């Protein structure tokens, strides 16, 4: 046999199948479809076509001709040939309309839309749209990630209308994920348009949603979602509510509840706790919140007596609880060991630290271990360290003490996969960071944040800008977005000429200045930041 004439088509089917299963199915479809009948047979097999993930292909990237060609090929040739097999589709929302019009998908059940802009959402989720008319009884799993940064009320209204439309028109939804960017803060209730007299999306069993306040959450628990067993909510506020839940069917059926609250609340005891103690069949509870102005720290005794004891089926309790501006009796101030013990004695593995700002005012931060959330409430210089492999977003803040080198080294080790860091501290450092090459420490003592993409240093003393931007102190190999005060950046970089800060700044693609300054920059500025 002449080996030089052997091609891939000569390989046995079993070997080809083994090879193809190791490849990305999108690459496989794009590369093999249309070459030969044998390769077509493999490429069109249900194994490779049931789950189509096109999230890496974006029609917005018109500068990349290869992506344009890929989009055209999928929409005009590949998808029309495999459309009957597609059961799960993940796509950049900007591409979805083309895909929707390229063919019909009679077996499509799961849809993921990434980076959905507001305009597309408003046109897509209404009763006259092609999507609703074609798939309102067909889609059982829907993931929508709305990415627009926004501040204006009309856009919030569109988001609210989109939420209501999804609940109203998609009648067979079982898994629904309506997630937005955590940085966006809504100024109004988003579920105000849901009538309590109608049972919307009664098939929804698993719901993850980004909403405004606790009233929105109560709307989801008042019985209208009759099959709901898992509710994961990200919300801005918990306030005392006038909404009364008379139909407890959803509360009693709920098995998993995870409220993540962005802003501190004074209403934990009279708003959230009374709802928790009615969730009698709860199996997994996750609590992430900050309380303020209580007369004592929330500890294991309080949570057990007020909520956990009512949940006889509970097997998993995960929490991240910060008590801010708590008024403490100066003669009986609890220590971190005291708080920790109240949880450990009840079977919870936790860590805890306490900041006493005065004899009567303190902050206690207690969290379960291992820590599984992607965010943790802001930490101070009292943070005891640990390993937080899941945390991607972090804020460090202290109003009493400066952050020194040991603290920043602790953060680097404790949060190895951190991608976004906010530093808030206006206290001048005791240990001044190195400013010159001759005074630098050994390379082994330079702190590295190997995954950090975004750094926010607005509310800080200039010492912390020096700490992070100078390569004599810190390595930031992936940094591409910086929020900073203009005068701090100009000073630390010596008007955009300093070599010691050039390394950490050279990959920046976005710089946002305080007060949204629009300055005419010098030639040195653009040479210093070549990717802006």
Give per-residue pLDDT as tens, 468-491.
Answer: 999 999 999 999 999 999 999 999
Residue 300 burial (CB count, 10 A):
20
Helical (H) or strand (E) element with 318: strand 316-327
CA distances from 234 to 180, 212, 383 (A): 9, 8, 25
pLDDT: which is higher, 207 or 516: 207
pLDDT score of 418 more than 70: yes
The pLDDT tens digits for 308-331 are 999 999 999 999 999 999 999 877
How sure is the predictor about 155, in pLDDT bands with cuts at 50, 70 and 90?
Answer: low
Q: In 236-315, which ranges are E strands? A: 256-261, 284-292
How sure is the predictor about 414, in pLDDT bands with cuts at 50, 70 and 90?
Answer: very high
pLDDT score of 134 more than 50: yes
Using CB atoms within 10 A of its CB, is residue 154 exposed (0-12), middle (13-18) or buried (19+)?
A: exposed
What contacts 302, CB < 8 A, 6 or more positions away? 296
pLDDT: which is higher, 474 or 166: 474
Alpha helix segments (H runs only) across 12-58 = 13-21, 25-32, 37-43, 46-49
Radius of gyration of the chain (CA): 27
3 state SS of 425: strand
The pLDDT tens digits for 269-291 are 999 999 999 999 999 999 999 99
pLDDT score of 198 more than 60: no
pLDDT: which is higher, 424 or 148: 424
CA torsion sign for 502, 505, 509, 511 is negative
CA distances from 157 to 150, 211, 272, 343 (A): 12, 12, 26, 43
Instruction: Please name every residue paired with 207 in a beta bridge, in sequence order, or none if there are none.
Output: 176, 231
pLDDT score of 14 more than 60: yes
- For residue 269, the model assigns a pLDDT of 94
Residue 295 burial (CB count, 10 A):
8
Pairing of strands 474-475, 420-424: unpaired
How sure is the predictor about 59, in pLDDT bands with cuts at 50, 70 and 90?
Answer: very low
How sure is the predictor about 61, in pLDDT bands with cuts at 50, 70 and 90?
Answer: very low
Domain boundary assignment for the chain? 378-532
Cα(249)–Cα(377) distance, integer angstroms: 33
CA angle, 530 as apex, 529 and 531 as ends, to 5°?
95
CA angle, 318 as apex, 314 and 322 as ends, to 5°?
130
Which of 77-86, 193-202, 287-296 comes out lowest in average pLDDT?
Answer: 193-202
3 state SS of 184: coil
CA torsion sign for 253, 256, 262, 264 is positive
**DSSP character at residue 78:** I
- For residue 437, the model assigns a pLDDT of 54
Tokens of 270: 């009279």
Cα(481)–Cα(449) distance, integer angstroms: 14
Contact 455, 421 (CB under 8 A): yes
pLDDT score of 147 more than 90: no
Cα(377)–Cα(363) distance, integer angstroms: 12
Provide the residue count of the chain: 532
Cα(393)–Cα(348) distance, integer angstroms: 25
pLDDT: which is higher, 210 or 68: 210
Looking from the CA of 271 toward its CB, the CA atoms found within 13 Å total: 21
CA distances from 185 to 211, 237, 246 (A): 9, 10, 30
Which of 39-48, 304-313, 399-408 comes out lowest in average pLDDT?
Answer: 39-48
Sheet holding 110-116, edge to edge: 51-54, 88-92, 110-116, 141-146, 175-180, 206-210, 230-235, 256-261, 284-292, 316-327, 361-368, 350-356
How sure is the predictor about 242, in pLDDT bands with cuts at 50, 70 and 90?
Answer: confident
Tokens of 376: 């943790």
How sure is the predictor about 185, in pLDDT bands with cuts at 50, 70 and 90?
Answer: low
Tokens of 524: 């040195």
- For residue 60, the model assigns a pLDDT of 47
Q: What is the mean pLDDT of residues 155-165?
A: 76
Tokens of 1: 């046999």
Per-chain mean pLDDT for the chain: 88
């Amino acid at each position: 046999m002449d080996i030089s004439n052997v091609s891939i088509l000569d390989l046995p089917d079993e070997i080809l199948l083994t090879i193809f299963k190791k490849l990305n199915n999108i690459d496989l479809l794009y590369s093999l479809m249309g070459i030969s009948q044998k390769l077509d047979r493999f490429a069109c097999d249900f194994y490779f076509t049931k789950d189509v993930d096109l999230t890496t292909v974006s029609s917005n990237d018109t500068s990349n001709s290869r992506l344009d060609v890929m989009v055209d090929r999928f929409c005009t040739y590949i998808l029309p040939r495999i459309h009957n097999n597609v059961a799960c589709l993940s796509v950049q929302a900007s591409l979805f309309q083309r895909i929707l019009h390229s063919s019909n998908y009679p077996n499509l059940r799961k849809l993921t839309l990434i980076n959905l802009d507001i305009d597309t959402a408003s046109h897509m989720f209404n009763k006259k749209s092609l999507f609703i008319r074609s798939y309102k009884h067909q889609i059982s799993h829907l993931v929508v990630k709305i990415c627009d940064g926004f501040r204006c009320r009309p856009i919030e209204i569109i988001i609210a209308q989109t939420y209501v439309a999804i609940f109203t028109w998609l009648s067979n939804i079982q898994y629904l994920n309506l997630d937005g960017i955590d940085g966006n803060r809504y100024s109004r209730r988003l579920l105000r348009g849901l009538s309590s007299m109608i049972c919307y999306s009664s098939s929804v069993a698993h719901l993850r949603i980004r909403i405004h306040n606790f009233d929105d959450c109560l709307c989801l628990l008042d019985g209208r979602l009759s099959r709901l067993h898992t509710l994961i909510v990200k919300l801005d506020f918990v306030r005392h509510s006038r909404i009364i839940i008379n139909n407890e069917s959803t509360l009693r059926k709920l098995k998993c509840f995870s409220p993540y609250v962005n802003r501190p609340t004074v209403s934990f005891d009279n708003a959230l706790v009374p709802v928790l103690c009615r969730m009698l069949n709860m199996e997994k509870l996750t609590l992430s919140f900050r309380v303020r102005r209580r007369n004592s720290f929330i500890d294991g005794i309080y949570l057990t007596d007020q909520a956990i004891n009512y949940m006889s089926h509970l097997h998993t309790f995960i929490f991240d609880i910060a008590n801010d501006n708590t008024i403490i009796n100066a003669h009986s101030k609890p220590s971190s060991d005291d708080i920790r013990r109240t949880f450990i004695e009840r079977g919870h593995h936790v860590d805890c630290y306490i900041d006493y700002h005065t004899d009567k005012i303190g902050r206690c931060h207690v969290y379960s271990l291992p820590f599984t959330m992607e965010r943790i409430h802001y930490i101070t210089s009292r943070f005891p360290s640990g390993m937080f492999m899941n945390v991607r977003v972090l804020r460090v803040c202290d109003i009493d003490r400066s952050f020194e080198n040991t603290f920043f080294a602790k953060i680097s080790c404790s949060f190895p996969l951190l991608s976004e860091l906010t530093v808030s501290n206006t206290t001048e450092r005791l240990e001044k960071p190195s400013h010159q090459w001759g005074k630098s420490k050994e390379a082994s003592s330079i702190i590295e944040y190997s995954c950090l993409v975004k750094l926010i240093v607005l509310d800080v003393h200039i010492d912390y800008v020096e700490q992070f931007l100078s390569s004599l102190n810190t390595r930031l190999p992936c940094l591409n977005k910086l929020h900073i005060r203009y005068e701090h950046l100009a000073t630390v970089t010596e008007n955009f000429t300093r070599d010691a800060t050039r390394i950490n700044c050279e990959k920046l693609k976005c710089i946002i200045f305080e007060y949204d300054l629009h300055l005419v920059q010098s030639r040195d500025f653009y040479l210093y930041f070549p990717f802006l």
